[in-house]
Amino acid sequence: MPLIPNTSNTDKRWWKEGVVYQIYPSSFKDSNGDGMGDIPGIISKLDYIKDLGVDIVWLSPFYASPQVDMGYDISDYQDVYGPYGTVDDVKELIQGCHKRNIRIIFDLVVNHTSDQHAWFKESRSSKVNPKRDWYYWRPAKYDEQGNRMPPCNWRSCFGGSAWTWDETTQEYYLNLFTPEQPDLNWENEDVRKAIYDNAMRFWLDLGVDGFRIDVVNMYSKHLPFADAPITDSSSAWQLAVELFCNGPRMYEFLEEMNSSVLSHYDVMTVGELPCTPEPEAVLRYVSSSAKKLNMVFQMDLVTLGFGKNEKFETTEWNLLQFKAFLDKWQCFINGNDGWTTIFLENHDQARSISRFGSDDPAFREISGKMLATFLCTLTGTLFLYQGQEIGMINAPKSWPIEEYKDVESLNFYNHVKKSTNSDEKALSKAHSAIQAVARDHSRTPVQWDSSQHGGFTTGQPWMRVNDSFSYINVRDQEHDENSVLSFWRKAIEFRKNYKELLVYGEFQLCDAENTKTLTYLKVHNDQKALVVLNFTKEEQTFMVPKEAHGQMDLVLSNSKTSSESKQLGPFEARVYLIN
């Protein structure tokens, strides 16, 4: 007998239809002129966020941290990074959101801590410390020449070995990211209990409405640590995602987290799910009957054009690949009880206009509105990232490498420098790749107005403001009905007015073979919408699919063309209701 899911994906939930807006605290708004965004700065902009139509704020890490990885290296889960404010400020932020009927979720970073966390300090202090087993410690291996080697050949996500030698106790510890981010040992039950109490219940009891969960599929590693197959013969360190993502106890750990903590609150969870291309595997995380997570960020679409072995060895991508991934992840919940997410930006991605539209001044705004139409008509929970609503773009090519701050970008650049002996051509190629896809582009400060430093700070910003602030900023766009910001407001409102169709409806791709336009239907009972999007700088004609025959009413568009015309201008977007 077929299994009958206990809920279906058309069951209404606040976390399905809510629009989520991500805030990256260091770059959002500085309230005291020290050049760093902060919690009071966020509080001062809550009305702006509300006006956009946002229902849920996702706040990236604000916890105590040495900031080696911009707060994803946490040294105390229950304290706040000094420059951002205090726990009282965070409480005020929670209340400020709730007062406006906005929910707020925090980032839960529990695959690793900072090496400055008290747990790690204890763990590294001696082999017999009660917390020794809270992290992964292993003795060295030795090669034939007697050289000391890490326990296995895994490469860390930011390059180099995933193991760091510790002098005090003469052993290696595992760090899948930087050496300052040691991995917690989830196999140890005390660790899991400490995480639940310390990092989760503490904030849930203060009223937080859920979590975005960092690298949610890396807690269970394949043990014992074995070498990964050699895919890069030029390096001692090998890509090992198969060995540290989706390990054997992953589902069990998340079930436990859900039953012991999350299920006791009315909260939402969205897990970051790298390196998981199979729909069946993803469904096991997000099926509601499996009681693990509500949804995940699957990465196929946003990693389009990244190199296989190395992100910055970028390749050309095309619309056919884009559509194939879109179709796959829009449809994978059809007929089951899972749920999905929609996003093109976050703090780990370059700006979507620069990547998927065009930041050429002639097409910047129109392509931004086209992408807004796209995102607001897809099925699943919609996430947008600060600055996306005003069409912020990548930093220009003229920025020297010194303006880039992210550890991932700098590690890559330094690696190229070292391995090529500063070869000019290789360095210029690396620079171009960083200009295209580095995480830094999303981390430049939000452009509030056209005054110095884009109104982000009265002091010296921690990271240079994108030069475009004089013509891309909130102040100018707020009262301009043709601005990207006004379009986003309209598109979000439109999404809410047609939520059965747009949030919950079924996605049907129409022109899978077309390399220039993207056309799809959204269907819900007897309601139907047709979305047509031109992804190019040239005019294109579009075909009305046979399923869309009927009266076509143009209900959303980013240009002033006639609704009859089958010619689309550059990056034109239209949504028709079919009656």
**Residue 124 host element (H or E):** helix 118-125
Nearest-approach distance from CB 542 to ligand GLC, in angstroms = 36
Which residue lies nearest Ca ion, judged by its C-beta?
38
Is residue 243 a contact residue for Ca ion (CB under 5 A)?
Answer: no
Nearer to ligand GLC, 442 or 447 (CB): 442
- Number of residues in contact with ligand GLC, rule: CB under 6 A? 9
Structure token digits, residue 375: 């995102």
The entry of ligand GLC, Ca ion, none near residue 36 (CB within 5 to 8 angstroms by kind) is: Ca ion
# chain residues binding Ca ion, by CB under 5 A: 5
Decide: is 30 part of the binding site for Ca ion (CB under 5 A): yes
CB of 467 to ligand GLC, least distance (A): 24
Q: Are 218 and 253 in contact (CB under 8 A)?
A: no
Q: In what order do the strands lie in the sheet containing 552-557?
A: 506-509, 517-524, 527-534, 573-578, 552-557
55 binds, among Ca ion, ligand GLC, none (CB under 5 to 8 A by kind): none
Binding status of residue 38 toward ligand GLC by CB under 6 A = no
Report how far Cα 152 is from the mean position of its chain's Cα atoms: 29
What residues numbered 165-184 form the site for ligand GLC, per CB under 6 A?
Answer: 177
Q: By CB under 6 A, tell whether 440 contacts ligand GLC.
A: no
Mapped onto helix, strand or coil, the DSSP state of residue 330 is helix
Q: Are 346 and 383 in contact (CB under 8 A)?
A: yes
Work out whether 36 is an interface residue with Ca ion (CB under 5 A).
yes
522: β partners? 507, 529
Among 16, 23, 24, 38, binds Ca ion (CB under 5 A): 38
Q: Quick one: what does residue 34 bind among Ca ion, ligand GLC, none, with the CB cut-off 5 to 8 Å set by partner type?
A: Ca ion
Closest contact distance (angstroms) between CB of 458 and Ca ion is: 10
Among 77, 48, 235, residue whose Cα is nearest residue 159:
235
Closest distance to ligand GLC from the beta carbon of 53 (Å): 25
Residue 214 site contact among ligand GLC, Ca ion, none (CB < 5 to 8 Å, cut-off depends on kind): ligand GLC
Q: Does the annotation count 481 as an active-site position? A: no
Q: Which residue is nearest to ligand GLC (CB)?
A: 72
Q: Does 215 bind ligand GLC (CB under 6 A)?
A: yes
Residue 500 lies near Ca ion (rule: CB under 5 A): no
Beta strands in 321-412 (DSSP E): 341-342, 381-385
- Residue from 76, 89, 115, 214 touching ligand GLC (CB under 6 A): that is 214
Q: Does 72 bind ligand GLC (CB under 6 A)?
A: yes
Spatial distance between the Cα atoms of 389 and 395, rounded to a whole number of angstroms? 17
Q: Using H for helix, E for strand and C for coil, what is the string for 268-321?
A: EEEEEECCCCCHHHHHHHHCHHHCCCCEEEECCCCCCCCCCCCCCCCCCCCHHH
> Does the bond joining 40 to the residue before it have cis omega, within 30 degrees of 0?
no
- Is 34 in the active site? no
Distance CA 367, CA 193 (A): 47
* Residues with catalytic roles: 214, 272
Binding residues (CB under 6 A) for ligand GLC: these are: 69, 72, 109, 177, 214-215, 272, 347-348
